[in-house]
A and B are shown apart, each in its own frame.
Chain A
Amino acid sequence: DAGVIQSPRHEVTEMGQEVTLRCKPISGHNSLFWYRQTMMRGLELLIYFNNNVPIDDSGMPEDRFSAKMPNASFSTLKIQPSEPRDSAVYFCASRSPGLEGPGELFFGEGSRLTVL
């Protein structure tokens, strides 16, 4: 069974360019999370969706960041315009409805973004 699939795995871009990160969750999972990881701040929750609906986007840094989930099998995180401080590893994770409790998250391999 395929896990969470993210693309691209690595992206190097120049300041001001648009960046789009993609995620395909595990089939049957109804929650999807976008995290950003840096050495200084660890894993920060950016936004999470439940049944394709954004539930909490309080972690989205600013208007330059946007996320969509048009259907149950696809989500995007877009940064426009990108800045050097956006350089980080961006993880997507999905979760199935827990029978008891919230259920564990399954993470993708991450997208390493470098903005020059």
Chain B
Amino acid sequence: GQNIDQPTEMTATEGAIVQINCTYQTSGFNGLFWYQQHAGEAPTFLSYNVLDGLEEKGRFSSFLSRSKGYSYLLLKELQMKDSASYLCAVSDYGGATNKLIFGTGTLLAVQP
């Protein structure tokens, strides 16, 4: 089966660092994605990890441990515009299928 877990909500302060965790169980694995979704808008791509370790992209970093079925998204120097939902998604690969399964998202509120 497929199961992706992430916290429902988080609150952080402007200028601080926040880490959003994601654990997953899928029958196949071909990489993990993080997407950002502002209220009323479409999800947009943030990062992709397929190998263990940390991928850094500006203020955002994403980490993956395949053996633990675990990832996190790290946001540094938080800005008010970072208030959004952050979606963890696993590329579930098996046979002819290569589909992207999403967690329910973590709603991050950045406060002044």
* Interface residue ranges, A against B (CB under 8 Å): 31, 33, 35, 41-45, 48, 50, 55-56, 91, 101-102, 104-110
Contacts and interface: CB of A to CB of B under 8 A. Distances in A.
Nearest to A104: B45
B45 A101 contact: no
Interface of B: 30-31, 33, 41-45, 48, 50, 87, 91, 93, 96-105
Contacts of B100: 33, 45, 102, 105
A42 B102 contact: yes
A107 B87 CA distance: 13
B96 A55 contact: yes
Contacts of B93: 102
Contacts of A55: 96-97, 99
Given A42-B87, A105-B100, 14 more contacts: A31-B98, A42-B103, A42-B104, A43-B87, A43-B104, A45-B102, A48-B97, A56-B99, A91-B43, A101-B50, A102-B91, A105-B33, A107-B43, A110-B42
B99 A101 contact: no
